Amino acid sequence: MEIITKHAEQTYEMPEKLTPHNVFYYSHYTKEVTGSVKTKARNFLDKGLVEWDAATKQFYVNPVEGYNTRRYSISNRNGGFECNCQGCQTKIKNGKYNPSTDDIPACSHILAVLMFLQIEEHNDLNKQGDKTW
């Protein structure tokens, strides 16, 4: 007879306020990305480097002071996100990432934007803003 062991599904209660530190546990996007990508994405959010530009309809991740000087742009592509960093562009070129179908972020910049959106949406649930992303 085969013994089937089933692990209890763990459920978590959503915290009242999401932050760059607790959002990891509530986002399906973050489940399959590696630790260093998460650490980088959290760092961007902690430092307030993620911004939305309504004029260009793009997200930007501004440079980390003393670490890099490039500002990366993250654009919506058919419901997904594409970043202009080398990591993301290489994955697209090699067929390893398709912004419109892949759920798992290709780079830390896209992950930071997804986390940013999740935090904003969760914490602003009762506010009626004019956010257009």
CA distance 79 to 19: 24
Count of residues that bind Zn ion according to CB under 5 A: 5
- Candidates 24-32, 35-43, 94-102, 107-115: pick the segment binding Zn ion (CB under 5 A): 107-115
Nearest distance from C-beta of residue 107 to Zn ion, angstroms: 3
Question: What is the three-state SS of 64-82?
Answer: CCCCCCCCEEEEEECCEEE
Token digits for 74?
A: 């993250």
Could you say whether residue 111 binds Zn ion (CB under 5 A)?
no
Could you say whether residue 113 binds Zn ion (CB under 5 A)?
no
- When binding is defined by CB under 5 A, the residue of 23, 83, 111, 113 that contacts Zn ion is 83
Strands 58-61 and 50-53: antiparallel
Could you say whether residue 88 binds Zn ion (CB under 5 A)?
yes
Could you say whether residue 91 binds Zn ion (CB under 5 A)?
no
Nearest to 29 by CA among 131, 118, 96: 118
Could you say whether residue 40 binds Zn ion (CB under 5 A)?
no
Query: In degrees rounded to 5, what are phi and psi of residue 23?
Result: -65, -25
- Candidates 26-34, 36-44, 63-71, 103-111: pick the segment binding Zn ion (CB under 5 A): 103-111
CA torsion sign for 127, 12, 31, 67 is: positive
Interacting residues with Zn ion (CB under 5 A): 83, 85, 88, 107, 109
